[in-house]
Amino acid sequence: MQDVIPAIEIRDLRKVYGDKAAVDGLTLSVPQGCFFGFLGPNGAGKTTTIKMLMGLAPPTSGTIQLLGMPMPERSLAIKQQIGLVPDESMLFDHLTGGEFIEFVGRIYGLERSTARARADELLDLFELGYLPKKLIAEYSKGMRKRVAMAAALIHRPKLFLMDEPFEGVDAVGARLMKDILLDQVRHGATIFLTSHVLEVVERLCERVGIIHEGKLIAEGMMADMRGTADTLEDAFVRALGMEQAAETLDWL
């Protein structure tokens, strides 16, 4: 039987800024149809990794294959099949949510009528349809995340790359977004996300990887990663070797 091509295949990936390696020899394979959480403390290399996957930062060395195609050699074909939700939403403040989603659809080659119809449906799906005339500049951070995710869905991608998609999103919005993402995985899509909200990762992801100081220090199925720990947070802290109690101040 023919082997299934991984959604993401990274080998010996490095990104050096000056004399510091933000990502240092990262090797990782993410199977298709997987909900994968990429974890690490601040400055560990998560955002740098995802920027390289998105084609926003060229690697210093190493290789990236997405959906069986090499990046950046096949970047145009790859980008036609991935949905991006970057950390800082690259939205156009002077468009309405619907106009922005339609614009993204047109970039991906959808006919105008199809892009407009899908934009309207996505606005309703993300519960933003009641604000058809409101400019993105007037959106809250959580609403901006919703419209960014809606735009990432419009061309029905096979792979989603998401950097902190739930940051600044309230409980209702997060629940809505999680349900939509889980439905995408059920239909065969792959989701690769970074998040500081470990409770969300624990509830959503079937596999996780932990990066620290640019190196992958642990990776595997959620149940195996958690092991004997009560929560993913406990396992995460243990993997980083930071289990010692925090110091206290006498006056505090």
Q: Are residues 11 and 57 in the same domain?
A: yes
Tell me what pLDDT residue 245 has: 55
* Cis-peptide, bond into residue 165, ω within 30° of zero: no
Question: Distance between CA atoms of 116 and 131, rounded to whole angstroms?
Answer: 16
Work out the average pLDDT over 9-29.
Answer: 95
Q: Same domain, yes or no, for 8 and 133?
A: no
Question: Which strands sit side by side in the sheet containing 69-71, from one edge to the other?
Answer: 20-30, 8-17, 61-66, 69-71
Average pLDDT over residues 85-105: 89
Q: How many domains does the chain have?
A: 2
Give me the pLDDT at residue 159, please.
97
Q: What pLDDT band is residue 2 in, cutting at 50, 70 and 90?
A: low
- Domain identity same for 165 and 77: yes
* Domain coverage including residue 110: 88-156
Q: Band of the pLDDT at 235, cuts 50, 70, 90?
A: confident
Q: Which amino acid is at 73?
A: E
Question: In 3D, which of 204, 225, 208, 222 has the Cα closest to residue 36?
Answer: 208
Token couple for 50:
């995802």
Shared domain check, 70 and 194: yes
Q: Specify the range with the lowest mean pLDDT, choosing from 7-21, 101-115, 164-178, 180-194.
A: 164-178
pLDDT at 3: 67
Q: What is the pLDDT of residues 56-84, one digit of tens each?
A: 899 999 999 999 999 999 999 999 999 99
What pLDDT is attached to residue 11? Answer: 97
In a domain, 208, yes or no: yes
- pLDDT given at position 157: 95
**226 pLDDT higher than 90:** no
Share of the chain above pLDDT 90, in %: 67
Residue 166 shares a structural domain with residue 151 = no
In a domain, residue 22? The reply is yes
Residue 92 belongs to some domain of the structure: yes
Same domain, 112 and 149: yes
Confidence of residue 243 (pLDDT cuts 50, 70, 90): low
Same domain membership, residue 32 and residue 8: yes
pLDDT of 250 over the 90 cut: no
Do 118 and 75 fall within a single domain?
Answer: no
Same structural domain, 93 and 202: no
Tell me how far apart the alpha carbons of residues 94 and 100 are, in angstroms, rounded to a whole number.
Answer: 9
| pLDDT for the residue 223 | 86
Is the pLDDT assigned to residue 128 strictly greater than 70? yes
| CATH code of 67's domain | 3.40.50.300
Within a domain: 179:
no
What pLDDT digit, counting tens, does each position of 164-222 carry? Answer: 898 888 888 889 999 999 999 999 999 999 988 888 888 899 999 999 999 999 999 99
Within a domain: residue 251? Answer: yes
pLDDT digits (tens, 9 = 90+) for 140-156: 999 999 999 999 999 99
| 13-17, 33-37, 191-195, 233-237: range with lowest mean pLDDT | 233-237
pLDDT range class, residue 1, cuts 50, 70, 90: very low
- Same-domain check for residues 21 and 139: no
Question: To the nearest whole number, what is the mean pLDDT of the chain?
Answer: 90
Among 217, 152, 144, smallest CA distance to 191 is for 152
